[in-house]
Chains A and B, each alone.
Chain A
Amino acid sequence: MPRLLTMYRWMWLARALERACAESNPRWFPIEGEEAAVVGTFYGLRPEDVIAPHYRGPFVTYLMRGVELDRLVGQVLGKVNGYTRGRAAAFSGPVGFNLIPWVAADLGTSLSVATGAALSIAYRRESGQADDRVVVVSFGDGTANRGDFHEAINLAAVWKLPIVYVCQNNQWAISQPLNSYIAGPLIAERAAGYGIPGTSTDGNDPVALNDVVLAAVTRARTGEGPSLIEARTYRLTGHWAEDVASYRSPDEVAIWQQRDPLALARGRLQETGHSEAELNEIERTAVADVAEAFRRVRELPDVGDAELGLDEVYAV
């Protein structure tokens, strides 16, 4: 199956799932418009590679490595089947699938924690063990101004750690436009200051982005150190589900709706011979799978006192 077609399936699953999450949870941070940036970043990795996706749209990256849809839906609905048993933010995921969980709601600290997973891999390599895993971490353009962005990338560059930093630049930090927090032209250009490669690319073209990411992954796998990639995209919705985003102009949103990554991918697939019916079926299946999962999970019990875990703060 061609890569774009597989990605199209994941992108549609992401859109359908995130729409359902936003309907069920007014504090969900919807992915709409950024599906290509997310799928293009995390597609084509090995299951043993460690991923640390941004809080906007992480579910599809977990599903791409085999996490159970129903258990993620359980986290959104506060049900007993959620991986985190109601304790972490709903968009966290199971560590057993080699990911960095969301245990904090600040921005940037997870960049350093992801860098530590790369440190663990590098430490094994330095001791002579065969270990060619890599870490891929994504974050927003707002987070790129946190001190952890600078500290983590500089540390990874000095120690040549096997990690790829991907900035999912959707041009808005909640209600603030990019020019209110970044004076320079591109976030990727900061890479030069750390002595590592930096590439800015179209985040609404999942194949082009994926080529750039996988080149950086190969570099990291072969011991050449970290890279910084900027995926330029746009948040078509508000910051959270109920945010009507009255702070930006309808003209700007309309321009980016013309560049909806799902519509662009669909057009390209049609040009390469995929039928309307085949592509409609992908869309229909994604929506139906998500609806079925929500229907099943709504019938499960809510998390209760047993999940409070008063004696489970410390590991033993």
Chain B
Amino acid sequence: MRRTYVEAIVAAIAAEMRSDDRVFMIGQDIGRFGGPMSGSKGLFEEFGPRRIREAPISESAMVGSAIGAAMYGQRPIVEISFGEFLPLAMSQIVLQAANVHYMTAGEASVPVVIRSRLGDGPYRGHPQSYEAWFPHVPGLKVVMPAMARDAGRLMRAAIRDPNPVLFLENMQCYHAVREEVPDEDDPLPIGTARVVREGGSVTVVATGWLVHRALAAAERLVSDGISVEVIDVRCLAPLDLATIVRSLRKTSHLVIAHEAWKVGGFGAEISAQIAETALDALDAPIARVGAPGIPVPSARPLRERFIPNEDDVIAAIHKVMAY
């Protein structure tokens, strides 16, 4: 069945809830409303208020109570409507969820999924991309799919994982990205990147919406004779560096592209790790594509210039190829 990115995520949650009664969801507007941007459409009708639990607007208590319930036998999914609200639960995520397993010397674990929505949002609302904060913290897994089927398969893996998983959904991908997603599907191991387009001249390592912009850029460069390999990182923690290095041994040129701000963005971590482990593979300096260092502007023309696009990716590719 062809499903959109969000439909694949919802189908995966429903499948896991059918097979495991310990799985339940906490969030706002996830009942009859169907979730922000249809993010839980149909779940309330199938599973009812015991398992689709609408909570007060209390992000810290929502995440904290999911952590406690996870330590004491359940497998909650807590949904923070938009990434803009994640800072309200930051202490719970980075001090409690991330620490429990290690600090208890392995006695306890926190099998919780924290869903949230990043990237440019509906009607230009809630547009924050805070993913780079989380892989900095030991103990968290950070998943950020770009493709519909990967999103579904990674959600299945996140729910079954014994660790806290930040599941970061890109809102531009939500209804725009669609592909064949079977009803029954295997979980995708967390921590694997994917070569989504093969090429020989340059590697573009991208996340979320920029995977799709990079693919569009690659098509446009075919006529110039530039063969672009595109890697979808998929998981920021653990990071699959080996797939990136393998590609660089072939292309010798690296562009990193994400929707979030360039300074301190996850591209900086990838750059540093490549510089430490595979600098000899490169024939040119690394180029990064990311948003400029300003708060996210609201008006459409400003927003469209703010969000990195395929022209920005092409400019970065030309820069590294011309070195």
Contacts and interface: CB of A to CB of B under 8 A. Distances in A.
Interface of A: 50, 83-85, 87-88, 92, 94-96, 100-101, 103-106, 108-121, 123-124, 126-127, 147-148, 150-152, 154-155, 158-159, 307, 309, 312-316
B60 A148 contact: yes
A235 B314 CA distance: 66
Given A106-B95, A123-B69, A112 B103 contact: no
Contacts of A101: 100, 103-104, 107-108
A119 B55 CA distance: 12
B68 A112 contact: yes
10 contacts: A106-B91, A106-B95, A111-B64, A112-B60, A113-B92, A116-B71, A148-B60, A148-B61, A148-B64, A155-B58
Given A105-B95, A119-B69, A313-B139, 8 more contacts: A84-B103, A85-B105, A95-B71, A106-B95, A119-B66, A123-B69, A123-B74, A159-B53
Given A50-B72, A103-B96, A158 B63 contact: no
Nearest to B237: A314
B70 A155 contact: no
Nearest to A314: B163
B70 A154 contact: no
Contacts, number: 155
A83 B68 contact: no
Interface in B45-70: 50, 53, 55-56, 58, 60-70
Nearest to A87: B103
B106 interface: yes
B65 A155 contact: yes
B162 interface: yes
A85 B104 CA distance: 8
B76 to A, nearest CB: 8
Contact of B56 (A126, A127, A154): A154
Interface in B62-118: 62-74, 91-92, 95-96, 99-109, 111
Contacts of A309: 102, 105-106
A120 B72 CA distance: 6
Contacts of A155: 55-56, 58, 61-62, 65
Given A50-B72, A120-B72, A151 B60 contact: yes
Contacts of A84: 103-105
Contact of A154 (B58, B68, B100): B58
Given A112-B60, A115-B61, A152-B61, A88 B68 contact: no
B138 interface: yes
Contact of B50 (A103, A105, A126, A314): A126
B21 interface: yes
Contacts of A152: 58, 61, 64-65
A95 B72 CA distance: 10
Nearest to B93: A109
B141 interface: yes
A96 B70 CA distance: 14
Contacts of B68: 100, 112-120
B89 to A, nearest CB: 9
A87 B71 contact: no
A210 to B, nearest CB: 25
Contacts of A158: 55-56
Listed residue (B105, B107, B139, B162) with the most chain A CB atoms within 10 angstroms of its CB: B105
B92 A95 contact: no
A50 B72 CA distance: 9
A85 B96 CA distance: 18
B104 A109 contact: no
B24 interface: yes
A309 B55 CA distance: 37
Contacts of A314: 101, 139, 141, 162-163
Nearest to B110: A315
Nearest to B21: A127
Contact of A113 (B71, B104, B111, B139): B71
Contacts of A313: 101-102, 138-139
Contacts of A148: 60-61, 64
A119 to B, nearest CB: 5
B96 A109 contact: yes
Contact of A109 (B64, B103, B139): B64
Given A109-B60, A113-B68, A309-B102, A94 B50 contact: no
